[in-house]
Structure 1
Amino acid sequence: MTLAGYEEITELCAGARGRVVLARHLASGEQAVVRHVAARFDELRGEAEVLAGLGAPGVVGVRGFQSAPDGGALILDPVEGVDLHTLLGRYRVLAPEAALRVLKDSLLALGAVHGAGVLHRDYRPVAVVVQPDGTTRLTDFGVTRPDGPDGAPAAPDYPAPEQRTGSPADPFTDVYAATAVFAECLTGDGGDRPLPEELRPLVRRGMAARPEDRPGSALEFAAELEETAVAAYGPDWERLGTVALAGAVTGMPPAPDPVRAASPPAVSAPPPPAPEAARRGRLSRLGGLRTLVAVLVGVLVGLAAALLGTGVLT
């Protein structure tokens, strides 16, 4: 669809969840990220309006939206950072403090949107942007989720048990998905690493099979997380987690996408030294060895003279 008031600069990505482009506002010249979404966008127009006016910390800003017969578009703030999916693809797991920081940020963001009457519906690693300062922001709300083959919204990547039997999304399902991603940050995608013993009660709580056994809200769960983290890792846990996340992001090559980061290139081995440089290095090492031998011989001669002088060797 053509977006009124914007010109497209470049396509950032395209897939089942729609097309994402970097665009420029014609009047102000400011850049924005535009996510084109499927036709059912108009059904969720009210949620898009709420997101556009929310301005909550920890949520990628929505500047506005446009709808059309063939779908719609969310106009988002450009955000520097790397999505959590890319980080896990590189590092496989996060330090416990870093994983806790991701979950806490997400729970606070979810608490804000839930309080405004909006659900995420599609929490997954690619929806979490980790910024260079080690903080995170939430994006890719369920208004961008594609339709399934029957025209209904496609199933989320991290469904709660009740969603598998047809129950609708609610704040409890968002908390479940956020906790499932948290567990993945600790154990790896295949669960090949053990979950830290001190964090198992937190995971069991957030991923309880029955919604009523989960925390009453995302904010309530964030408070429980804080108590658990302090008890397990000390009062400095959040700073340590923030530093770890910042290091993970800044240690990766920059990505052209202001909202997403591409997978890092393979690290190649350093080139072998030039022949002349290698020859000079061998000569230098040989000279050093000769000097050492000369020193040792001098020491031995001096020691022998001293012993002869005292009559020990006569």
Structure 2
Amino acid sequence: MPVDSSPAARLAQRYTLQQRLAVGGMGEVHLALDERLGRQVAVKVLAPGFAGSPDFVERFRREALTAAGLSHPNIAQVYDYGVDGSTHFIVMEYVTGSDLARLIRARGRLSPAEAAHVAGQVCDALAVAHRAGVVHRDIKPGNVIVRPDGTVKVTDFGIAQALGQASLTDTGTVMGTAAYVAPEQARGQAASPASDLYSLGILLFQMLTGSVPFEGDAPVAIAMRHLTEPVPAPGSRVAGVPPSLDEVVIRATAKAVGDRYPDADAMGAALRRSDPAPAPATQALPVADPTSVLRAGAGTAMMPGPGAATAFGAAGANGGQTADPRTAFVPAPRDAGPAPY
């Protein structure tokens, strides 16, 4: 049954649920207070349809434990996994900011410097995960949060694996996932680190142009285009894209796995070498209301919330305060190191 979201609701005699932020087919996400540590967290509660399956619960538990072992500034942290009666839940970092999907909708497209800045941080997150043997399998805008200071948080590590690789014809498969699927995944083959790099290449294309390269009336139609059509250079769609970033997109989205970057570190290095001119220090990215950007799985109903997160990630170092809706981030100069916390 859905968890009571009243102020009195508690899980494991530790987590007080304060507000339901999102609900979807996979479960609900709540803003909560960790009474033991005195901090805000995001708590994802599995829907009864999943919680009632012992096989799924065990797989989800293992994947949550794996994701909890990933520690990096660009990865939304998983803190805890627990069971309270028949309720299975995961406790996650609560991240403020705006997910990349909302940011792109608000901006249309990002500057080359901004796009390279975001993609480079996603590469850093993937490099750590891949070295730990974890493949994300679902890199897309909704799983990338940009904090107001420009720090990127990749969320939902482990979720796709726990769910399994659903067929593109399965009910609940969303257009958004098909738009970023690697050819080998579309063929039903196992995802690999190279699959994540392909999806990131598509995401970089979208940041640079404002749209994905392939669209269609159904997920299968979109996936077939990933199988048969080369991804065009972003510079062929919009003006002002440096050739070096065109090259990154083209190599990352090569149909053959062996023709892509050998790993996320190599792709990140290519992005750094592309060195598009950074935006002026006074420039900021206006975003839509930074709240309500949680996703609880396919078919999520967006609900008001005081921060930004996804099904597997949510508040960071700024204590869960709502981001200023007038700004999102300014890329740090290439020689300035990572964006500050």
> What TM-score do you get using the length of structure 2 for normalisation?
0.65
Rg: which structure is higher?
Answer: 1
1:66 shift after superposition: 2.3
1:122 shift after superposition: 1.0
Match of 2:181 in 1: 159
RMSD value, Cα: 3.2
Q: Give CA-to-partner distance per residue, 1:212-270, whole Å, 9 cap, x none.
A: 1111111111112211x22xx25xx3xx39875xx215x654523322489x79xxxxx
CA distance in 2, matches of 1:57, 1:73: 23
Q: Aligned match of 1:140 in 151, 156, 167?
A: 156
Match of 1:77 in 2: 93
1:44 shift after superposition: 4.0
CA distance in 2, matches of 1:67, 1:242: 47
Q: Does 1:220 align with 2:220?
A: no
Q: Give CA-to-partner distance per residue, 1:109-144, whole Å, 9 cap, x none.
A: 000111111111111101111011112111122416
Match of 2:71 in 1: 55
Partner SS for 2:96: coil
More displaced stretch, 42-51 vs 76-85: 42-51
Check conservation: 2:81, 2:89, Cα contact below 8 A: yes
Q: Does 1:210 align with 2:256?
A: yes
Q: Give CA-to-partner distance per residue, 1:180-199, whole Å, 9 cap, x none.
A: 01101111126594272512
Q: Which ranges of structure 2 fall in alignment gaps of 5 or more residues?
A: 4-10, 214-235, 292-304, 310-321, 327-341
Q: Does 1:175 align with 2:212?
A: no
Match of 2:307 in 1: 258
> What TM-score do you get using the length of structure 1 for normalisation?
0.71
Q: Aligned match of 2:124 in 105, 108, 112?
A: 108
- Which has the bigger relative contact order, CA under 8 A and spacing at least 6? 2
Q: Give CA-to-partner distance per residue, 1:20-59, whole Å, 9 cap, x none.
A: 1111223333221012344425214333213223221200
1:168 shift after superposition: 1.2
Check conservation: 2:33, 2:40, Cα contact below 8 A: yes
Q: 1:18 to 1:105 in 2, by over 3 A?
A: same
Check conservation: 1:101, 1:242, Cα contact below 8 A: no
Match of 1:31 in 2: 40
Q: Give CA-to-partner distance per residue, 1:63-111, whole Å, 9 cap, x none.
A: 1112589774221111111110111111110001000111000000000
Partner SS for 1:248: coil
Match of 1:6 in 2: 15
More helix by share: 1
Check conservation: 1:99, 1:241, Cα contact below 8 A: no
Percentage identity across aligned positions? 30
Q: 1:151 to 1:6 in 2, by over 3 A?
A: farther
Q: Which ranges of structure 1 fall in alignment gaps of 5 or more residues?
A: 266-314
Q: 1:201 to 1:28 in 2, by over 3 A?
A: closer
